[in-house]
Structure 1
């Protein structure tokens, strides 16, 4: 009986260590992924390369590149190639974000707005990651609802490309902010519960959430706080 209990405790300890290792590797890779993101955004703003594309072409390039990279990362997630593709993907995402950053930097207080969006994103991430570590409830059921929410946001943004509705845009930005903030909680909790054991895929999921939170915050700050005088 004692041997069985000892084996159970030992097995539990090994599982906990594995989950902590996945979480540590995820956080390290997430931090590293910010470097090519910033580099891509800086190159995009400095060269204005993304502004050479029409909004329609830019959207096509974004979706084709993003889904292409995600498919390739999924296929190579168990090798070093997956890490390299993930970093290349984050460079691409930074490059595509440069159009919005450049527009916000056109305001007199643009630099302040970018830093506020960055600080707000970091704050949301810390709150959600901390909450995931203390919540005991199983959150696996959130996944379906959040996926539906993300699809609604995606379809809404595509539709609004043609509709050009300011009210719909604001609604979608707020919804995007809420959905992807919740996704951070969900993804970190999955790692802690052992639902995600591959740190490359874990990083990809959290990165996409952080990216969308930052983009939504930056757009909202630009709309309501941009000083164009």
Structure 2
């Protein structure tokens, strides 16, 4: 009886710690989304910044490669980094994302952007809740979705060439790919949430370590949301 009670107490402590860890993850993610939104808003609402970035697409492409480099560094070195360094890299990445997605946002109406953001936020929250509360192991679904994501990336590359020779066909293909991407990233949101919840429940009680892991987990959910939003924007703004 005492042994059973002891195991129950350990399980409760693990769940409580996991919930606190997940709160940290969402906190970092929300902060990153705020900085991304702020960067985009600053450019779109300031004529001089708008002219500078929208008129210098080469710089935007360079910043995209910088973003890729930051993600690689963060994913490979996060556990050996100081927490302040990991946080700085993540937040700089979120600001750069705000800059690099601005040329895309520029072509859509303000109402479309806000509507796409709201729908994406609602879908993200719903799928994240499913991932948190569902008892079924989503690992199998996660592997399938990752393979689907690889296929989606290949299809997007193919669509670049299609757009050169058959632009009318490419439009319909792009729309279909955006719909598929929304489904994939919605599913990944549920899978990643469940995975992060399990990480939080099993992680060592070492504040210096779980802070860094919370940041890389926040990056995972952040990327799910950004990709969900951008593809939802393409779907809802297809007539812009």
- The interval holding the TM-score normalised by the smaller chain is 0.7 to 0.9
1:173–1:188 Cα change, 3 Å: same
SS at match of 1:19: helix
In the aligned structure 2, how far is the partner of 1:87 from the partner of 1:201? 11
Q: What is the 5 A alignment of 1:26-105?
A: 26-45=25-44, 46=46, 47-48=49-50, 49-53=53-57, 61-62=63-64, 64-74=65-75, 75-77=77-79, 79-104=83-108
Q: What TM-score comes out, normalization by structure 2 length?
A: 0.82
Q: What is the 5 A alignment of 1:103-142?
A: 103-104=107-108, 110-142=109-141
Question: In the TM superposition, what whole-angstrom CA distance separates every residue of 1:36-73 from its partner, at most 9, and x where no partner exists?
Answer: 1012212443423044216xx855752x2232111121
SS at match of 1:223: coil
CA contact (8 A) 1:50 1:95 kept: no
Q: How big is the shift at 1:205?
A: 0.7
Question: In the TM superposition, what whole-angstrom CA distance separates every residue of 1:143-202 from its partner, at most 9, and x where no partner exists?
Answer: 211111222222222332232111221111111111001111111111223378521121
State the partner residue of 1:170. 175
SS at match of 1:156: helix
Structure 2's unaligned 5+ residue stretches are 164-169, 204-212
Runs of 4+ in 1 over 6 A off after TM superposition: none
CA contact (8 A) 1:29 1:203 kept: yes
Bigger drift between 201-210 and 64-73 goes to: 64-73
1:190–1:34 Cα change, 3 Å: same
State the partner residue of 2:221. 206
CA contact (8 A) 1:51 1:99 kept: no
CA contact (8 A) 2:36 2:98 kept: yes
State the partner residue of 1:13. 12
**RMSD of aligned Cα (Å):** 2.0
In the aligned structure 2, how far is the partner of 1:159 from the partner of 1:139? 30
Structure 1's unaligned 5+ residue stretches are 105-109
